[in-house]
Structure 1
């Protein structure tokens, strides 16, 4: 297998190659670091490359490999970490250049779990400032670009994670999602992204994030890789404000599960915010037709999301103030959001309203197993496309674009984004599947069916090959 093929090999297969001693962790790390050095100047997908740390870790793991048979699941497999998450001894910028020297002395809980699984950390990937936006173009950093077409965004806020994965600059990636920040970049870049259920993945050592709308999750080339990484990062940490039991036997096992007939709902309209463009609509219609052919019961219907718009905005914009960064060093849209932030009482009223609407949405799933929606309402925007707009105009454009994503954050339900094809600009088209609370296994099983019926692993951006 040549180096390019190795770079695009799914993480689970790389783990097996390492176990069989057909490739070493050091060889893999060197392959990815060479690709990062060559392609990252065009992509802007990494803020920080941990080359020395990665090489030292891979060297140590390669030496262990010679003497040890009992290895953790992803021993020696290279992974990227989003630059909203803490890695001890490495800068954590949150997409703000004022924090370039913000070196933390602890690992986030998900990073601890990733290290325990044997992964080698390659670096910290690009994000929008504070994770606020569905594009990754923070002031003071090169803009992250889509490897399928460099004129376009890879999405946000996990834009660097998705771009690096799609371009073969890591084997698998960690991201986070507070309003579509895993699913959107996965859709823009043609990879798999899972937003887990609330309580599935810890936010340790910090506390609750915006009343539970945000969570860490996996991005991967295959459903099985995403499921296995979700297994890795799931689980309770002492003090977590809410948690779910671990799946039995595992999320990875759900990729082998035989499904009976499921009740599938779908919609290409997100009232009151709009409807999908032709590309995104076609992705949904193509997917539900395939699901019907696979034996599932399909019906066009959708919950009423209209009551979520205002309270979700209030909760979301409170995250800017909670970051504690002075307004003068923030980008204009974040300054705008900071200025709009209300009192603690207004925040709590919005949380209560959001949760009441969420109950109504979850009740829709009493008679539905999976809801198929677009990920975003239109194809990716160009890099800098909204730069000349006012903060108010930009924020409204964001709301209208990402409309299908925030409901699952508000309700805490799991959702998965899957690539299904390409548009006329050579950019991926994707759909999202939303499941019942805590029912990632069902989504993973359905996604595996769709992946088998419409394979996409063979597709690679021309830039990356």
Structure 2
């Protein structure tokens, strides 16, 4: 018998619209899943059952059914503020902080009619690409509980993969949606800079951090992205004159149709290659080959891209990442409660000369221009999603910040440059390891090119058939 959590978010949306299930019934179902499964998975920082059921009743009575996410459950990443709900940011420093106002992204999902069930787990301040902290339970990969779920939207990914949520919003400043999505066999979307009004990246240092969806299917990801972009329907209301170019959506149609033939480049080099020993694991290469063969059979043009070394990238990106950590609102004695990686990044960032920061920002602006020129002849560029298989819990060095940073780069060298260049990207699961853990690929689009990415990803999804599934143990 099919349970509610076996349905896709789009199917649940249709069931809600028909009245086959109510927001309260759906909320109760997922809350029961969370109560049963989360002690093993560690996907949630906070669960709010009373508030969720009250919200479900409010949505039923007072929110028009035309709201794009009407009645659908999700969770807020614990970097985002929801009034009255603890916000811990994955840190022991903020165990008692309860905001009295919600931030813009939370307001956007509410305006779209969604029902928040709580806060999904994140590593400290979203800085690492894994979700394991001194003060929190590790977030585990539902496909193999000995493995991590990735980060920093690791809690969101683990919750969706295990069927504790139909989909979830995340944030991505260097791969924080795509890394956990790829680790947990999900579709993850990093939108173009400027695309999502409440998480545009335009106000973040170097324009890195944007908001986007994690979901089991391409269509589900498009459904959530549409809700994040335009909670009250299109056209989206942007606060900035600058916004992503291209089709403004909605993107669900492109994801459902999956039409078109496109010219794709295949990229296996990364801008980290000159600074770190980057090696693509056989499982990651096999996933890339599966995608290449499938896309060729679908009639897309495929062309291997020549390497384009960027020896200045590592120093410039590290400078920006450390400068971002310098703004963490922790000073004095509470710094001792921060994790070693966070302390290392914070100390390096606060010691940076202004000139070095300015030079790094200027270098990355030039890098963005070079990447866009390099990709200009392609409708999309295909890369491995990860260079390695998902890492075991405890694999990252907890004490040596320099080594820890290097481990993260070696695990995921293909994500951060997409944030620097402001381009959209989507990860899609296409294969699995000998142990049954999913492996995926990444498609990178032109500025504002989300519709093309959804079209290609939907075709790839249909061809390889990796979506929809939960691990058998769940």
What CA distance in whole angstroms lies between the structure 2 residues aligned with 1:449 and 1:346? 44
What CA distance in whole angstroms lies between the structure 2 residues aligned with 1:224 and 1:402? 25
Alpha-carbon displacement from aligned partner over 1:323-352 (angstroms, at most 9, x marks no partner): 222332211011111122212332121011
Name the structure 2 match of 1:369: 379
Change (3 A) 1:206 1:395: closer
CA contact (8 A) 1:221 1:457 kept: yes
What CA distance in whole angstroms lies between the structure 2 residues aligned with 1:21 and 1:78? 16
Name the structure 2 match of 1:38: 36
Q: 2:182 aligns with which of 180, 184, 187?
A: 187
Which SS does the other structure have where 2:148 is aligned?
Answer: coil
Change (3 A) 1:365 1:245: closer
Matched, 1:217 2:222: no
Q: Which runs of 5+ in 1 are unaligned?
A: none
Between stretches 165-174 and 250-259, larger displacement belongs to 250-259
Which SS does the other structure have where 1:102 is aligned?
Answer: coil
CA contact (8 A) 1:201 1:233 kept: yes
Q: 1:462 aligns with which of 443, 468, 472?
A: 472
Alpha-carbon displacement from aligned partner over 1:74-117 (angstroms, at most 9, x marks no partner): 21110111111111221111111221221122222222121111
Change (3 A) 1:287 1:427: same
Q: 1:428 aligns with which of 431, 438, 462?
A: 438
Name the structure 2 match of 1:330: 338
Q: 2:106 aligns with which of 111, 115, 128?
A: 111
Name the structure 1 match of 2:233: none
Alpha-carbon displacement from aligned partner over 1:282-330 (angstroms, at most 9, x marks no partner): 1111101111111111111156252322111111121211122233221
Name the structure 2 match of 1:14: 12
Name the structure 2 match of 1:318: 323
What CA distance in whole angstroms lies between the structure 2 residues aligned with 1:108 and 1:254? 30
Which SS does the other structure have where 1:152 is aligned?
Answer: strand
Change (3 A) 1:246 1:13: farther
Name the structure 2 match of 1:253: 253
Change (3 A) 1:102 1:240: farther
Change (3 A) 1:186 1:367: same
TM-score, length of structure 1 as denominator length: 0.94
Please show how residues 300-315 of structure 1 align to structure 2 within 5 Å: 300-302=304-306, 304=308, 306=310, 307-315=312-320
What CA distance in whole angstroms lies between the structure 2 residues aligned with 1:108 and 1:303? 41
Which SS does the other structure have where 1:322 is aligned?
Answer: coil
Which SS does the other structure have where 2:405 is aligned?
Answer: helix
Alpha-carbon displacement from aligned partner over 1:159-194 (angstroms, at most 9, x marks no partner): 000000000111110101011100000000001100
Change (3 A) 1:393 1:442: same
Which SS does the other structure have where 1:173 is aligned?
Answer: strand
Which SS does the other structure have where 1:151 is aligned?
Answer: strand
1:73 CA drift (Å): 2.1
Between stretches 126-135 and 386-395, larger displacement belongs to 386-395
CA contact (8 A) 1:186 1:192 kept: yes
Matched, 1:275 2:244: no
1:364 CA drift (Å): 0.9
Name the structure 1 match of 2:406: 396
CA contact (8 A) 1:127 1:157 kept: yes
CA contact (8 A) 1:156 1:182 kept: yes
Which SS does the other structure have where 1:269 is aligned?
Answer: coil
Name the structure 2 match of 1:164: 159
What CA distance in whole angstroms lies between the structure 2 residues aligned with 1:258 and 1:9? 20
Change (3 A) 1:351 1:100: same
* Count of residue pairs brought into register by the alignment: 459
Change (3 A) 1:294 1:248: same
Name the structure 1 match of 2:122: 127
CA contact (8 A) 1:280 1:430 kept: yes
What CA distance in whole angstroms lies between the structure 1 residues aligned with 2:453 and 2:4? 28
Please show how residues 333-412 of structure 1 align to structure 2 within 5 Å: 333-341=341-349, 342-387=352-397, 390-412=400-422
